[in-house]
A and B are shown apart, each in its own frame.
Chain A
Amino acid sequence: MSLLLIAIAAVVVNNFVLTYFVGICPFIGVSKKIDAALSMGIAVTFVMTLTSIVTWVITDVILNKLNMPYLEYVAYIVVIASLVQLVEMFIKKTSPSLYKALGIYLPLITTNCAVLFVALLQAMRNYNLVQATVFGFSAGVGFTLAIVIMAGIREQLEMADVPRPFRGAAITLVTASILALAFMGFSGLIAA
């Protein structure tokens, strides 16, 4: 499969949030304002790309060689947790302004299932290192796209008179449903 196809599939056709349902927690929680959503998206993209690369190395070079695939999940989650920690320290040192902008969202990425999902899918699909890198990055872009669109809609929704029982998470989910319906339009784009 060519790299371009992997990228398009991960960004729009099989969008992580809207077709695989991963990363729903930040998608609902951090989608009230566009700039916060964008910061979250960028942080997630960054971590996803790194995670995809590092877990590829770990799966292919260590776990498979030592015949210990059963340690997969434990290894992945430890990798992700330490990566997030590392990224946090790195950004804090090099760019305090970015650190301030991302703030509390960084540690939250550890429990973002989208990141673990990237690691699992690239292992399951037997991608090579380049494919895994492109896949990780594109999945992050797809996540960013979805969360920013959602934030845009929700900023408008603030002004609408939502029926009481629907306020909060319920109306967000119904909105996401319509968004998912729109993204289904991409499904014929490539046969994946």
Chain B
Amino acid sequence: MAGTSIVSEFTKGFGRENPTFVQVLGMCPTLAVTTSVANGLGMGLATLFVLFFSVLITVIIKKIVPDGVRMAVYTVVIATFVTIADMFLRAYVPPISKALGPYVPLIVVNCIILGRIEAFATRNTAGRSLVDALGMGAGFTASLIILGAIREILGSGKLLGFQLLGSGFHPLLVMVLPAGAFLTLGLLMAIFNAVKDRDSFVVVEGR
């Protein structure tokens, strides 16, 4: 990764290494909370916060953490920041906190975070790792917003609470139900593949 520029370190989270559509990581929150744009944004930003600060702590302590217990140490670091994020949401944006419910604590086991720490932060310089964390977090947030927007528009005819489609539109209830979540993500992933296909075809393997 030494040859890549800082800018591409950031933008790869949106395109070729997008955590949702390309790496297929962090599926649980992706599917569960994207019934609306607001929820998707809330979850995305909470994950971004946890990812950034966990990586920050990681790059500080990585030299003194023994190899055998590094997973346990990093997981506790992540859990601490998730607790902070959860308390913050509960105190300042109660409606979002309520809508996200038990999915906020689930950020602890979001494979994107441990994945970035393990695969990137422990092997790269501090600056690069932080830019990578920001890019991945932002790319994840963008994916959640896209999913949330599609499901909210088709499922209720609204976007961020505003009536978008006319009264003649019959809301597709299935879109806000679990089946709609799987379907939307599956189709988006296929579109993502098809677009990538024009350059070079890579099969997205499930994790």
Contacts and interface: CB of A to CB of B under 8 A. Distances in A.
Interface of A: 18-25, 28-29, 70-74, 76-78, 81, 110-113, 116-117, 120-121, 124, 163-174, 176-178, 180-181, 184
Contacts of B11: none
A145 to B, nearest CB: 15
Given A169-B205, A177-B182, A180-B182, 4 more contacts: A19-B178, A74-B79, A116-B109, A177-B183
B102 A173 contact: no
A110 to B, nearest CB: 8
A21 B179 contact: no
Given A73-B86, A169-B24, A184-B179, A28 B31 contact: no
Interface residues of B, number: 47
A166 to B, nearest CB: 5
Given A124-B102, A164-B197, A178-B179, A28 B207 contact: yes
* 3 shortest interchain CB distances as A-B pairs: A173-B186, A177-B182, A24-B27
Contact of A169 (B28, B87, B189, B194): B189
B87 A174 contact: no
Contacts of B71: 81, 110
Nearest to B81: A73
Nearest to A120: B102
A168 B182 contact: no
23 contacts: A19-B178, A21-B31, A21-B178, A22-B28, A24-B27, A25-B28, A28-B27, A72-B83, A74-B76, A74-B83, A110-B109, A111-B109, A111-B114, A116-B106, A116-B108, A120-B102, A164-B197, A165-B197, A167-B203, A169-B24, A177-B182, A178-B179, A180-B177
A78 B86 CA distance: 18
Contacts of A165: 190-191, 193-194, 197
A29 B27 CA distance: 11
Interface of B: 24-25, 27-28, 31-32, 71-72, 75-76, 79-80, 82-83, 86-87, 102, 105-106, 108-111, 114, 174, 177-183, 185-187, 189-191, 193-194, 197, 201, 203-207
A169 B203 CA distance: 9
Nearest to B189: A170
Contacts of A177: 179-183, 186
A104 B110 CA distance: 19
Nearest to A183: B178
Given A113-B106, A177-B182, A178-B179, A29 B194 contact: no
B80 A174 contact: no
B173 to A, nearest CB: 11
